[in-house]
Amino acid sequence: MFNLRGCGWSWCKGLYLPQEKRPVSSKAAFILATLSSFISHLVLGDIIHYSVQWFSPSTIGSAAGGTIYDATLPPVTRYIRSTVITFLAGMTIYSAIQTAYDGLSLIGIIFFGQKPSQWPPIFDAPWCATSLGEFWAKRWHQLFRDNFISIGAKPFTLLGGRAGGVIGAFYVSGLMHDMGMWGMGRGVDFRRVGGYFVVNGFGVLVEQGWKKLTGKKVGGMVGWIWTMLWVISWGNMLVDAWCSRGLAGSKFFPQSLRPTDYIFGPL
């Protein structure tokens, strides 16, 4: 339950762990570095979340929800706006997961006597990915990797070979994220939520096809542009599905303790 990546277990074969940049030789130094990360991501995440809600406090920023597309704007401006919201929403998710992981790391080390090495980094600067394969297999968190492989990739490989395995892993990821939204009691939307992850699976297959065709991996500056465009532009439909159901109106703090209320004032 608390070791979803399977660190130290045989079933995590092939798992990529980011390079540790915090000091691990001293538990006190590691705790201070993790505490600094916890506080900075907590505040930064709230600022980014506040920025998402700022676009429309009564719709996107509320539990009632609303679309990220402003029909009063011209098409180009409308999609620039929705794409900015999508990027900020993604960074909010990153910050929230990093904050939670840092908090659990501190609890495990301080109260349960665990070693710093038992809490390896969860992200590896996903904004630096130069291919979709790198983004999803290495730089984004790998918490559900075993589930996606066991339930999705392996069975689908039997049906459709390697390509089927790739789509299967992303399909199961889409199902999991859609079920998470279902838990809000506002239905499901697999076409957009699941569709986002499936289309990323097809993007990975495109990269594999490119390598077979040219003998070169996707990478470099062109690879970075390709990756960011694919992840963020398709992300519009995912974020719109979430925001329409009020997910961006979530409260991570009691209102009286929210950092941005003191920095910028209530929305």
- With CA atoms as reference, report the closest residue to 148 among 119, 128, 178, 171: 171
Distance CA 72, CA 69 (A): 9
Q: Which residues fall within 8 angstroms of residue 129, CB to CB, at 6 or more apart?
A: 135, 138, 139, 224, 227
Distance CA 240, CA 160 (A): 31
> Given this model, what pLDDT does residue 8 score?
86
Query: How many residues make up the chain in this entry?
Result: 267
* Burial of 174 (C-beta count, 10 Å sphere; 0-12/13-18/19+): buried
- With CA atoms as reference, report the closest residue to 252 among 46, 55, 66, 105: 46
> Given this model, what pLDDT does residue 142 score?
97
* Burial of 214 (C-beta count, 10 Å sphere; 0-12/13-18/19+): exposed
> Given this model, what pLDDT does residue 242 score?
97
CA angle, corner 98, sides to 108 and 118, nearest 5? 35
In a structure prediction context, what are the per-residue pLDDT tens digits for the chain, which is 267 residues long?
678 999 988 889 899 999 999 999 999 999 999 999 999 999 999 999 999 999 999 999 999 999 999 999 999 999 999 999 999 999 999 999 999 999 999 999 999 999 999 999 999 999 999 999 999 999 999 999 999 999 999 999 999 999 999 999 999 999 999 999 998 899 999 999 999 999 999 999 999 999 999 999 999 999 999 999 999 999 999 999 999 999 999 999 888 999 999 999 999
> Given this model, what pLDDT does residue 1 score?
65
Distance CA 41, CA 199 (A): 29
- With CA atoms as reference, report the closest residue to 69 among 77, 217, 61: 77
pTM of the model as a whole: 0.96
Which whole-number Å values give the CA distances from 156 to 46, 146, 166, 189, 191, in the listed order? 39, 14, 8, 22, 20
